[in-house]
Chains A and B, each alone.
Chain A
Amino acid sequence: MDRKGFLDRVRQATATADLPPVRQDPPGALIGDLSTADLVGRFVERATEVNADVRVVTADGALEQVVGIMEEYKADEYLGWPDSQMPIPGIGAGLIARGYSPRPSEVPSDNRLLHQTAYYDLVVGITGADGGLAESGSIVLTHGQNRSRMASLIPDAHIALLAASTIVESLSHWAALKSESVTRSANLVVITGPSRTGDIEMHLTQGVHGPRHVHILVLDDR
């Protein structure tokens, strides 16, 4: 069907639709009162509730934490975002200095399939986050500008770096304040804990297609 024919049919349908009275303007986000004296505290609590491992770190202490996690997984390489895209500076450079190697994240234009399977066995992905949502314990990631989508999706463990100052109350707050985050990139993801399923007798199992473990390092920059 063509666009015009399709939309004409929809227009005619709306003319006779039996709907309750509706608002004239799009209602938009509901910004209710979810205030708390300790936004970061709530973020940590809620993210922990969904089985993320959350650590509040200082700029100086962050690298040690990342290295500790790398050792935990016995990983010597990782897929990550470049330092320029990270809210905590110097992590990539620090890892390289300690002998860890980042894997290239570009899709080779001549061999797409190779890229699709390149991270099949990779254990650790390291990304930044644009912000956090305290109410649900979520992190928000926009992709593009060398920010790999696969880094937070394929490896078994995802390490996310987040600045405390970018945590807002809830998804509604984020959507109302940062609507441009959707248009700015081709892909925005809100991540709330590690990948999970309850499909088999509602038994909670972690790590189906996405990471089994999510580690969030919150930089205390307030």
Chain B
Amino acid sequence: MAPEPITFLGRVKRDRASGVVTPVAEAARRMSSYRVAASNDFPLMEQMRDRAREIRLHTLANLDRYLAQFASQVEANGGHVHWAADGDEANAIITEIAQANEVKSVVKSKSMVTEEIELNEALEQVGISVVESDLGEFIVQLSNDKPSHIIAPVLHKTRYDIGELFADKLDAPYTTDPSQLTEIARSHLRREFLTADMGISGCNMGIADSGTVVLVTNEGNGRLTTTAPRIHVTVMGMERIVPSFADASAVLEVLARAGTGQRLSVYTNLVSGPRRHGDPDGPDAFHVVILDNGRSRTLSGSEAEILACIRCGACLNICPVYREVGGHAYGFTYPGPIGAVVTPALKGLDEWHELPYASTLCGACVEACPVRIDIPKMLLTLRSKAVDDGHLPGWLTFAVGRYASAATHPRQFRVLLKAGGVVGSMMAKDGWITKAPSHGANWTGARDLPQPAKTPFHARWKQRHGS
């Protein structure tokens, strides 16, 4: 799937013009400040981050072993395990489970991985109705939109947008009060949720030694989806494994703190198979679909560490680029710094070679990341791979070509610098060039350029020190 419109810059311009990025910066800044406050409040935060990182890396290095153990334990608990090489296979497996069990309606809890494989579309195509139960995802679904943040899907919408949407689509009285809007969604959806035949969830973690799926939510949709319907299907990216409950605890200790600034999210839901003898409720059947979809390729190479990600969203919140461009500009399910690495890693550089440039390499993301993933390092590696693959951005080819020629001819170099100073001062306003012509427009289309000095450095040096 190629992104639409086709260039990163094109998407940025579209979203800035439509105003969807306007609420993003402030919300992201607030979420970052919650993370900082929660981290400062927890005396073990730094140690716990190190521990969570060690756990994630240890698991990745031994992933085949832990996946095998996890699958065997799920089966021992009475669940079914399915292996999907890609999104199409996963969608086919889930559709088959639904059809074999005469499922007509599905309720889903928030899950990025099902966005990644476009599961809703696949189910709707065969006539199964799908309802998103996370409030943000429900709003996304109702407005035919895409999530713009991995834990706050409608960060880009205002209460006014949502008020209008509910008035229009749900026939609700127009209001802009978030509590009332939440109440409208709750009452509209409750019966639908409760009568669904099948619940589909993502998976924050799979615990290998007990075959347990861990689901973290604040609203309770992760519990609803796994309690009321007669069938529960979990879709799990293959990297979401940890060895034991003890290991899971360290990850949970940092996850909510980094994501929303909570000590723990409201519901940490651990599901180990279908309901057992003596359980008054819970699903009769439990399935786990384990998804590769580019992950084994990622694991085999220089971006392996990105699979340690616990999807907290902290790197999005802190990223100066994300704050300015919002989530949709990244063109795929995973926005922000994590997306700039994971999208090209999972989907290949051919269509996604621009994303590694959607960063200033300032390093704020490593600082914020609870498992200290070195995102800037991977962005650089990806950039160099993209260049090796012949994906040098056009303006850069031109500029580097000119520079190579000038740098080896000192006279030409001096003439060009001088010319640059003169032309630059003609184009600049208040010391900044905001609109450069020709290839230069590719730079100034996205950012301003400081006006070059009228007299080049080497000339000033000569004036001061002679020769």
Say whether A13 contacts B253, CB under 8 Å.
Answer: no
Q: Which residue of A lies closest to B136 (CB)?
A: A199
Closest Cβ of chain B to A89, distance in Å, is 21
User: How does the 8 Å CB contact mask read for B369-395 relative to A, with 1 for contact and 0 for none?
Assistant: 000000000000000000000000000
CB atoms of A198 and B300 under 8 A apart? no
B43, B67, B266: the one within 8 Å of A192 (CB): B266
Residues from chain A with a CB closer than 8 A to the CB of B269 are 187-189
Across the interface, do A28 and B270 meet the contact criterion of CB distance under 8 Å? Answer: no
A151-208 at interface with B (beta carbon < 8 Å): 153-154, 170-172, 174-176, 179, 182-183, 185-203, 205, 207-208
Our pick among A105, A112, A146, A210 for the contact of B220 (Cβ within 8 Å) is A210
Does B462 sit at the interface, judged by CB under 8 A? no
Q: Once the chains are docked, how many angstroms separate the CA of A120 from the CA of B47?
A: 44
The B5-59 residues at the A interface (CB cut-off 8 A) are 23, 27, 30-31, 43-44, 47-48, 51, 54-55, 57-59
B135–A172 CB distance below 8 A:
no
Whether A2 and B83, one on each chain, are in contact in the complex, defined by CB atoms closer than 8 angstroms, is yes
> Does A18 have its Cβ within 8 Å of any Cβ on chain B?
yes
Q: Complex formed: what's the CA distance from A18 to B385 in Å?
A: 15
A115 contact set on B, CB distance < 8 A: 281
Q: Does A194 lie within 8 Å of B299, measured CB to CB?
A: no
Within 8 A of B (CB), among A1-53: 1-3, 5-20, 22-30, 32-34, 46, 50
Complex: chain A residue closest to B308, CB-CB: A19
When C-beta atoms are compared, the residue in chain A nearest to B276 turns out to be: A186
A170 (CB) vs chain B CBs: closest residue? B253
Contact B219 A208 (CB under 8 A): yes
Contact A202 B31 (CB under 8 A): yes
Chain B residues 249-281 with CB under 8 Å of chain A are 249-250, 252-253, 260, 262-276, 278-281
- Tell me whether chain A's interface is mostly helix, strand or loop, or mixed: loop
A135 at interface by CB-CB < 8 Å: yes
Across-interface contacts of B303 in A (CB, < 8 A)? 18
CB pair B135 A20 closer than 8 Å? no
B-side contacts of A22, CB under 8 Å: 54, 57-58, 60-61
Q: Which of B62-86 contact A (CB under 8 A)?
A: 62-64, 67-68, 71, 77, 81, 83-85
User: With A199-B134, A200-B159, A202-B152 known to touch, is A191 a contact of B182 (CB < 8 Å)?
Assistant: no
Interfacial chain A residues near B275, Cβ < 8 Å? 144, 186-187
Contact B51–A197 (Cβ < 8 Å): no
Cα–Cα distance between A197 and B135 once the two chains are bound (Å) = 8
Most buried by B among A23, A176, A182, A186: A186
Say yes or no: A26-B218 contact (C-beta < 8 A), given A171-B252, A182-B270: no
- Please determine whether B135 and A200 come into contact, CB atoms closer than 8 angstroms: yes
Residue among A115, A137, A174, A183 with the most chain B CB within 10 A? A183
Neighbouring B residues of A149 by C-beta, 8 Å: 223, 227, 279-282
> For residue B84, which residues in chain A have a CB less than 8 angstroms away from its CB?
1
What bracket does the count of chain A residues touching chain B fall in? 35 or more
**CB–CB B276/A185 < 8 A:** yes
- Bound complex: CA of A113 vs CA of B191, how far in Å? 11
Chain A contacts of B181 at CB under 8 A? 200
21 contacts between A and B (CB under 8 A): A1-B85, A5-B83, A10-B64, A17-B299, A27-B51, A29-B249, A150-B228, A150-B281, A171-B249, A176-B246, A186-B275, A186-B276, A187-B227, A187-B270, A190-B264, A192-B267, A197-B218, A198-B218, A200-B162, A201-B158, A210-B267
- Kindly list the 4 A-B residue pairs having the minimum CB-CB distance in the complex, ordered from nearest: A210-B220, A175-B249, A203-B178, A208-B219
A interface residues, Cβ below 8 angstroms from B: 1-3, 5-20, 22-30, 32-34, 46, 50, 105-107, 112-113, 115-117, 120, 133, 135-138, 143-150, 153-154, 170-172, 174-176, 179, 182-183, 185-203, 205, 207-210
B interface, CB within 8 angstroms of A: 23, 27, 30-31, 43-44, 47-48, 51, 54-55, 57-64, 67-68, 71, 77, 81, 83-85, 89, 133-136, 139, 152-154, 157-159, 162, 178-179, 181-182, 185-186, 190-191, 193-195, 207, 210, 212, 218-221, 223-224, 226-230, 238, 243-250, 252-253, 260, 262-276, 278-282, 284, 290, 292, 296-297, 299-305
